[in-house]
Structure formats: C-alpha cells, structure tokens
Structure 1
Amino acid sequence: MPKSALVIGGTRFIGRHTVEELLDHDYHVTIFNRGNHDNPFATREGVDHVEGDRRDETDLKAAKLSVRPDIVIDCVAYYPADVDIATDLFTDVEGYVYISSGDAYGEEEIPKREDATPMRPCTEEQAVDDAGETYGNRKAEGDRKIVEAAEEGVNAMSIRPCIVYGPYDYTERMDYWLDRVDSHDRVVVPGDGQNLWHRAYAPDVAKALRVVAENGEPGGFYNVGDQRAVTLEEMLELIADAMDTDIEVVTAGENELAAAGLSPEDFVLYRDYPHLLDVNKLADLGWESTPLEEAMARSVEEHRESDRDGAEYDPGRENEETVLDVLDTL
C-alpha cells in the first residue's frame, strides 16, 4: 500500500512540482486548498483533493482525519501562526516539512549556512504583517516554531529555498529574462553582469521536500539551491544556449542606466550583494540538483508554451534602447 502524503497547497508552482515528485515516488497524494486555482491533477490517478482553508483549524483537522497522512508538505504557511497550528495538529506524522526561505537569514554572509548564519528577528507586529519587507522575518519565526515543535517530539523540519525558477512560475521573474533573450539580440544587464542571486530549480525544491520529509532531522533547516550557482550574465548565456540563439549581453553601470531614468534595482533578479546558500547539508541526505543546462532547457520549453512574459518587471525596452545608444557612443 502506498504511503499517504498531504500537500497543503499543491496546484500552482512549487506545490505542483511537489505533487509530481511524490507521485513519481509512489505516494498517494491529497491536495488540500481552497480550490481558487485550476487543479492540474483533477483527473490524475493517485491524487485526491480536499477543499478547505489552511488558516481554519477545523478545516485542517478535518483534512488530517480524512487523509491520515504519513507525511505533510506545507507549501502555503506564510505566517508563524500557520506553522504553529500545523505542528500542533500533525504531531504523529513521519515528517512535516515547512517551506521557509533563504530570506529568513538575518546577515549577509557568503555562503549562508543553516547552523551558523543568524536568522532575522520577528516582532509581534511583523508576525501578522503581510508586507513584502517583513516576509523574511515571518519565515524566520516559522522556523523557530519548527524548532519548538521538534523539541516537543514532532517530526517537523523546514527547507530554505533561494529564488525559485522553472515551469509554471506564476511570479514570472525568470520569464522576463527568458522573453528578453527570445525577443532581442542585445540584452541590457545592470552592473557588470557578475552579481549573484542564488537560484533553485522548482523540481529540485520538490525533491528536497520529499527527501527532508523522509530523512531529515526534526528541528532541522535545509538550504535549497542549484549546486552550481551562476551570475546573471551566465544565466542569460544558459538561456541563449537553451534557445539555440546568440545574444550580446550589454552591461550598464549606474550612470548609463540613469540616462534613461533607470537604476540596477529596476531589473528583476538583480541583487547588489551576493546571495549564496550552502546546500551541503541537504546533499548529505542524498539530494542533488538538476544540471543547469537541463533545468534551463525545460524552463525555456514550458515558457514558450505559456503566455507569461514577465511584463510587470519590464523596465521598458525604449529605456533600454536609450541605454544602448549611450553605451554605443562611448
């Protein structure tokens, strides 16, 4: 009889890949969510759906009683209280895994390590806030709830992904760059192109969730990211190779960008200080990431099948043309 997995969330990005990962490893999967998004597994054998609000403790308890899961993967715990309620409820599962974030780290270190780099603090006000600026604080407090639950005997763990990319990415952050490379021969990159914001391929995040649920240490945090981290310029070269095209990566400093009213921060996935996570702790559990060429090829394929273009992050091609004109006169 297959083991039972309850995925809180499960129909969009990381959750969708997680369901696929669990099915590939012979789990019977139940998705628990409010049903606000299309369910890609509606007719899939081995997948059930229970509708409910994860923030309603009665709904969550009903899901537990109907599913009786061996493991629980929590894709949508955005507040510390969500983790607190879930770990109080799933006290007897073989593994409960919470998706935290690399943003939970409170200091800029290279690399950031689970057991060495301090976490962000979290005030009572931040714990219930919904602002982007306090996202990392809330995730860090969720991690502290994981530690508390483990101390009470719950098999609770968390993973800390960096920026996640790959098929079905509704955030469209990577789609902006995929669209740029697919549409233009010359692509403007802020700075010198060597900035590094560690990324994680979504199916690898899903794999990490399963591996940690099965083999992780209660109370443990596990960083997740590509085992080969690349700069922004190298990422564009990977995209171009996957698209079988040639591009010129044109780097632009603050002065050149300012000519068009732009700054480096106007470009998605740009980060001034390097963000790099040490993933050796996860690798010690037997996890490994997908080769970058393979990950990017699949990302490109699905991007081209979708209607996503990352337009909300677009600094304006006309602005980029102004920057290119300035650079061409230097």
Structure 2
Amino acid sequence: MEKAERPLNILILGGTGFTGPFQVRYALARGHKVTLFNRGKRPSPEWPGEVEQLHGDRETGDLSALRGRRWDVCIDNPTSLPSWVRDAGKVLRGNIGHYLFISTISVYADGSRPGIDEDAPLAQYRGRDAMAETRQTLLADMENLYGPLKALSEAEAWKQFGERTTIVRPGYIVGPRDETDRFTYWPLRVADGGEMLVPGDGQDPIQVIDGRDLGEWMIRLAENGTTGTFNAVGPGYPLTMDAMLHGCQAVTSTPLQLTHVDPEFLEAQGVELPIWVPRNRGPYAGYGQVSNARAVAAGLTFRPLANTVADLLAWYRSLPAERQAKPRAGIDRQREAELLRAWHARAG
C-alpha cells in the first residue's frame, strides 16, 4: 500500500472493538504512528507493526495516561456520553490537531423521512442532566437516550475542539468482526437455502457500510484534515432487500425461494427482523434512504457487497462452534418455519 505523504501521530480512543482494528491496520500500512487508549479488558489483535498501548477508564474519569502528550489526530470510537467528550477535551484540548468522533444516524429527530441529510434537526434530550448520565443509565433506556446523548456528544465535541472537529454518522456497520449479527443473519440464512421468509415486498431500501470502508475512510479524513459532519452510509447505489439477498446468494450459490410476507403479519406475530425497516412506515422508515452525498464527495468509497458477504461468512465460520450455534439477531429456523406455515394458511 502506498504511504501517506505526511506521517501522522494518531491517538485512537478504543481501538480494539469493531472498527478500531481496521483503523489501526490501515493507519500502520499508510505509515502512521498509532497509540491506543482503552481499559485493556479486550485482547488486542496481532498488529502488523508497533502500536503503543495506554490504559485508563473514561467511565471513572481516569485519563491520566493521556496527560502531557501530544498527537496530530484523535479518533474517538466508543463514546456515547457527552461527559466523556468533555473530560477528553479537558486533557486533550490544545494537545491534538484534529478530533474525529464516530456518532450515528440515530441523532436525527425524525428518522421517518427519506433523504435525511446532515443539516436535518437533531434529537432533543429530555432528561434532567445529560452530563450526569452514565453507561448504566444509557443501557437502561437506549431507545430514548442513545440518539439524544450522541447528539449532545457531537455538540460537546464542537465546544471542546472547535473547527478542528469531524463528525461521522454511520448507520448499520457490517462485515467481519460484527458481533451483533444483525446483518450477518441474512447471509447465514441465505447460505442455508430453501424457502426463506422475507419481510415486505422485497423493495424496501437497505443501507449498510462495511466496517473496513468506514475505518479506512476515517484515516483518509485525518490525512486530508477534512472537517465537518458526514453521513457514513452505503452502498453508493440504491439497494433493496431483494437485491441484498440475491447479492448474498451470488456468494453462497445455494438454491433459494424467497417468500415475501406483509409487515402487518409480522407485527401481529410479534416478529422483528434485523436491518430491515418498511419504507414509508414507522419512525425509522428513512433509515434505508439517508443521504451520503457529502461523505462520497469527501472520499468515502465502498467495496462490493459480495466481498463483504464472503469475508463476513468466512470470519463467522471461524468462530467457536458454541458462538456460531447462538446467533444474536434474527429468528431461528423453527420459528421461521412456523411463520411460513401460518402465512401460507392465511394466504390461501
């Protein structure tokens, strides 16, 4: 890989989760120096180069390892609380040249409309004191707190780091290392073949971004000194539910019969399927149609869906058998068969 014109000294907060390792590997390949700051509770991957590791705990405010140090760039991966950005600012402000914050499209006040761009209104916090919120309070009420607290974290980033700030708002991040199994459910199910339950009419829009595309683009944003706010959603073309499934089938080559089931039927059965949201229906109907024009203009690129699917399946099948046996999203085959029988009985 070609080296960057100017090597950077990069601090990554987190770095061992989903997208962090992709940032690290790409940064090293481009010739940058990398420092990670985290609690040290998750095993670090084998890096293809030297990586400095600093330990602390943002939850308790222990940022002592960062004091008195300077970096060209700070990438903040795990933050969902504005107090964490505030505390980082107290230590890093004046000691970094560029701050990049991973946010989310969940910051938008109205997720129901298609074409959401970066200037749309943001969700409002309704609690007593956003700076007093903790990881525990957030986890206890994710539906109501996640988006508003991310929006306030963005605001705090601008307050602490000013015009040297970049806000990146991904949607569903997918690919190898995705422990949620939300997208993974679909290629795994396609690989099993046979009759498959598909929510809706197959034309509902889907947006996903490979974690590698996201992580590598953030390094390029740092290299270019690009600031501003960007929706990091993909792919670079309209993708429907059926097109996604056929894309998975092109990789697995399994015989497949798609049976489309009305959203109303699934709702009555109490079934929610990951990634998919019906268009023009519900508070998140716009999540498959978010504008990525600004990010693409800033250099965001997307690898082919087939590459993402193939690499994801290879990674998943390398996991321990007990982990593979317990997917963390979707429905099991028995439940799917029951739903299909009920649907066919109702339809005729």
Shorter-chain TM-score bucket reads: 0.7 to 0.9
- Whether 1:189 and 2:198 are equivalent positions in the alignment is yes
Partner of 2:118: 114
Partner of 2:243: 234
Q: Cα distance, 1:83 vs. partner?
A: 1.4
| Amino acid aligned to 1:138 | L
Aligned partner (choices 136, 145, 149) of residue 156 of structure 2: 145
Q: Cα distance, 1:317 vs. partner?
A: 2.1
Residue pairs, 1:82-101, within 5 angstroms? 82-92=84-94, 93-101=96-104
Aligned partner (choices 265, 271, 274) of residue 277 of structure 2: 271
| Amino acid aligned to 1:73 | I
Partner of 1:221: 229
Give, in whole Å, the separation in 1 of the partners of 2:101 and 2:11: 12
Tell me the secondary structure at the aligned position of residue 311 of structure 1. coil
Aligned partner (choices 336, 341, 344) of residue 320 of structure 1: 336
| Amino acid aligned to 1:222 | F
Q: Deviations 1:202-249 (Å, cap 9, x if unpaired)? A: 01111232233333554x211101122422222221111122323222
Give, in whole Å, the separation in 2 of the partners of 1:208 and 1:294: 17
Gaps of 5+ in 2: 1-5, 279-284
Partner of 2:312: 299
Give, in whole Å, the separation in 1 of the partners of 2:258 and 2:232: 28
Tell me the secondary structure at the aligned position of residue 341 of structure 2. helix
Change in CA separation of 1:56 and 1:70 when aligned onto 2, cut-off 3 Å: farther
Tell me the secondary structure at the aligned position of residue 313 of structure 1. coil
Residue pairs, 1:1-330, within 5 angstroms? 2-41=7-46, 44-57=48-61, 59-66=62-69, 68-92=70-94, 93-107=96-110, 108-115=112-119, 117-125=120-128, 127=130, 128=133, 129-130=137-138, 131-133=141-143, 134-151=145-162, 155-218=164-227, 220-226=228-234, 227-254=236-263, 256-257=265-266, 262-264=269-271, 266-272=272-278, 273-275=285-287, 276-307=289-320, 308-309=323-324, 311-329=327-345, 330=348
Q: Cα distance, 1:18 vs. partner?
A: 1.5
| Amino acid aligned to 2:117 | R
Q: Deviations 1:179-222 (Å, cap 9, x if unpaired)? A: 2122232221122222234211101111232233333554x211
Gaps of 5+ in 1: none
CA contact (8 A) 1:87 1:96 kept: no
Give, in whole Å, the separation in 2 of the partners of 1:140 and 1:123: 12
Question: Bigger CA drift: 1-10 or 167-176?
Answer: 1-10
Give, in whole Å, the separation in 2 of the partners of 1:150 and 1:52: 21
Give, in whole Å, the separation in 1 of the partners of 2:9 and 2:67: 11
Give, in whole Å, the separation in 2 of the partners of 1:317 and 1:97: 41
Tell me the secondary structure at the aligned position of residue 239 of structure 1. helix
Question: Bigger CA drift: 124-133 or 223-232?
Answer: 124-133
Tell me the secondary structure at the aligned position of residue 62 of structure 1. helix
CA contact (8 A) 2:93 2:161 kept: no
Tell me the secondary structure at the aligned position of residue 305 of structure 1. coil
Q: Cα distance, 1:174 vs. partner?
A: 1.8
CA contact (8 A) 2:200 2:263 kept: yes
Q: Cα distance, 1:161 vs. partner?
A: 0.2
Q: Identity of counterpart residues, as a percentage?
A: 25
**Alpha carbon RMSD of aligned pairs, Å?**
2.4
CA contact (8 A) 2:56 2:64 kept: no
